[in-house]
Amino acid sequence: TSKIMNCIIGALLGWVSYLLGRDLFDRRTARISMFIVTFYPSLIRWSVANLKDPMNNFLFLVCIYVMARALYHKITIKSYALLGISLFTLYFFPQKFYFLLAIGCLSLFILLKAILSLKREIRDKWILISIFSTFCTIGILKYNPSPNTLS
């Protein structure tokens, strides 16, 4: 039954990538992204094997979809609840890497939402500051001497 569940989640991963591509670009791009995600060899292997990776990928992509949709559209409380449930579920997986990525994307979403609400002159300065702080954060995470940074 776990293999069937992984196959279903792998198929849903293609659907969520379609929705994300449609909202960010257009239907043609969405179809291409769905095709790539659906037939990507390692995702097929992970979906057939008894691994946790399809669930991690699916929950992470759901988080990205909700945040990307919230940047340009007004979303309902159900979408925020879906984001909360996905983050809560990702937190309890042994691999904290996806949870840290989702939290990083959530903080970037909040920063981008604030930047989009500013006037043009101030917005340009904030974009430069956010790019600089993103690179600083990546550098700190990459060169941190602690061995348990992303585990």
When pLDDT is averaged across residues 4-24 and rounded to a whole number, the result is 85
Enumerate residues 6+ apart whose C-beta is below 8 A from 123. Answer: 115, 116
How many C-beta atoms surround the C-beta of residue 40 within 10 A? 14
Q: Is the pLDDT of residue 57 over 60?
A: yes
Q: What pLDDT, in 10s, does the model give residues 58-77?
A: 888 888 888 888 777 777 88
Give me the pLDDT at residue 25, please. Answer: 85
Q: Is the pLDDT of residue 94 over 90?
A: no
In angstroms, the CA 58 to CA 93 distance is 13
> Would the pTM of this model clear 0.75, i.e. be above it?
no
In angstroms, the CA 43 to CA 98 distance is 16
